[in-house]
Amino acid sequence: MTVSDSSAAGGPADRETGTAELREPQAPDGRSVGFLELFFDLTFVFAMSQVTHLMLDDISWQGFGRGVLALLALWWAWVCYAWLTNMFEIAREFHTVLMILAMATMFIAAIALPTAFTTGALVFGFALLAVRLINVGLFLASSSRDEEELAAAVRRLVPGLLVGPVLIVAGAFAPSPYRELLWVAAALADFGSPLRAGINGLRVVPSYFIHRHGLVIIIALGEAIISLGLGATENLHRPGVLGAVVLGVLISATLWWTYFGLTTGAEERMRRTPAPDRALLARDAYSYLHLPLVAGIVFFALGARVSVEHIDEPLSPLPALALTGGIALFYAAEVAYRWRDHHQLRVDRLLTAAATVLVYPVAISVPAGLSLIILALIGAMRLAWELWRRPQIGTGTAGAVH
């Protein structure tokens, strides 16, 4: 958080020189995302585009697999910092400098990402390790100033935070496919660490946690918009390209409305969850189940870019799978997320995922522009139904974007 954020710091006395430190805010439920986090997340805007670049350079099963592994590594790096800034305010200048240093090293990792499995493997691995070491240092420094239960929880998690990046560094010295296998092991270490070590004792600030994860969905959607623009830049001479861009934006908008139409209900659900259970809900619904939401958007971005570049031709199998499967994955992940969050099954989203998958045979048979039309209609019809029926999910009314 920022030094001057009065709503987070609690009052003028908290902001006096020499008293600022990593600390729990006095009014945690009202804390919002600060400018430092927004600045830090800029690196992930670029990193998301680099994942798409990695897959575009090698549109094959190997390329897609490497793209997934890269996304897993980036996602967990972001998750670790989201938990850090959720629990503690970054208020001292020294800690702010460390966050900016982490941002710089994350940017280096993002630059190296398209070659992370070839010539840039060592640069990516060491940059990611540096990002995680700074994260661990901030965790330990902050928790040592707080209650013992939180400090014990952090100490349990710290070893698992370092295993993944070390395995990726080791992968830089191994040939393929052993390099990819070490990346798989790194992902298992990252995602399995909270399950093995436990997260009892960690705190969750509802408003902050929900808003921060909403921002990462915006980042992913931003990558989809960027991909559409890049696909259209050199193809404006082709008939229908501008229309395809509009369709891509409309599809992105339906995904945006689907997610953010229930943000208020999700925040209220988190706030009503007893404090000991919040960390489990946050881990499952956000650290884990938001990953397929983001992955779905990233795959859609890839398919949309290829569609715009080849608007008058049927898509080849893998780009068609990215386009239709990415949207389907988003809706299916939405169902899983809402189920974990509210224990309600959203049949409309499930049916939309199924309908989108059924577009795949069409996408490899007809011009890409027609596939975009069909997908836009499916998303628009689902959204229109939701706006008409206004179903209740938890304490929120679907479709109400604030």
Q: With respect to residue 17, please indicate whether it lies within any of the assigned structural domains.
A: no
Are 79 and 176 part of one and the same domain? yes
Are 159 and 135 part of one and the same domain? yes
Are 245 and 378 part of one and the same domain? yes
CA distance 210 to 111: 29
Are 212 and 172 part of one and the same domain? no
Are 299 and 358 part of one and the same domain? yes
DSSP structure string for 215-255: HHHHHHHHHHHHHHHHHHHT-TTSTTHHHHHHHHHHHHHHH
pLDDT by residue (tens digit) across 16-73?
A: 333 333 333 333 455 667 788 888 899 999 999 999 999 999 999 999 999 999 999 9
Are 55 and 165 part of one and the same domain? yes
List of the chain residues with pLDDT < 50: 1-28
Structurally, the chain folds into a number of domains equal to: 2
Confidence (pTM): 0.89
CA distance 116 to 12: 47
CA distance 310 to 250: 19
Choosing from 203, 228, 245, the residue where a domain stops is 203
Q: Around 100, how many Cα atoms within 13 Å sit in the side-chain half-sphere?
A: 10
Contacts of 353 (CB under 8 A, 6+ apart): 327, 328, 329, 330, 331, 332, 335
Are 43 and 173 part of one and the same domain? yes
Encode 317-335: b = buried (16+ Cβ within 10 Å), e = exposed.
ebbbbbbbbbbbbbbbbbb
The reported pLDDT for the residue numbered 286 is 95
* Domain span at 107: 32-203
The reported pLDDT for the residue numbered 274 is 87
H-state helical runs in 285-367: 290-309, 317-342, 347-357, 360-363
CA distance 185 to 173: 15
Closest CA to 322 of 343, 341, 301, 338: 301
The residue behind tokens 């006095």 is 26
Are 104 and 250 part of one and the same domain? no
Are 264 and 300 part of one and the same domain? yes
Which pairs count as long-range contacts for 169-173, CB under 8 Å and 24+ apart, including other chains? 169/122, 169/125, 169/126, 169/128, 169/129, 170/125, 171/121, 171/125, 172/121, 172/122, 172/124, 172/125, 173/122
Are 321 and 262 part of one and the same domain? yes
Are 165 and 239 part of one and the same domain? no
CATH number of 238's domain: 1.20.1410
Q: With respect to residue 350, please indicate whether it lies within any of the assigned structural domains.
A: yes
Q: With respect to residue 52, please indicate whether it lies within any of the assigned structural domains.
A: yes
Task: Classify strands 392-393 and 396-397 as parallel, antiparallel or unpaired.
Answer: antiparallel
Q: With respect to residue 15, please indicate whether it lies within any of the assigned structural domains.
A: no
Are 191 and 112 part of one and the same domain? yes
Choosing from 203, 226, 247, the residue where a domain stops is 203
Q: Which two tokens mark 225? A: 């918009």
Q: With respect to residue 1, please indicate whether it lies within any of the assigned structural domains.
A: no
Q: With respect to residue 9, please indicate whether it lies within any of the assigned structural domains.
A: no
Sign, CA torsion 167/169/174/177? positive
Choosing from 203, 224, 243, the residue where a domain stops is 203
The reported pLDDT for the residue numbered 31 is 63
Q: Which two tokens mark 287? A: 């650290």
Phi, psi for 89 (deg, rounded to 5):
-80, 130
Contact 335, 262 (CB under 8 A): no
Which pairs count as long-range contacts for 24-27, CB under 8 Å and 24+ apart, including other chains? 24/87, 24/88, 24/89, 24/146, 24/203, 25/1, 25/89, 25/205
Q: With respect to residue 309, please indicate whether it lies within any of the assigned structural domains.
A: yes
DSSP structure string for 139-155: HHHHHTTS-HHHHHHHH
Q: With respect to residue 145, please indicate whether it lies within any of the assigned structural domains.
A: yes
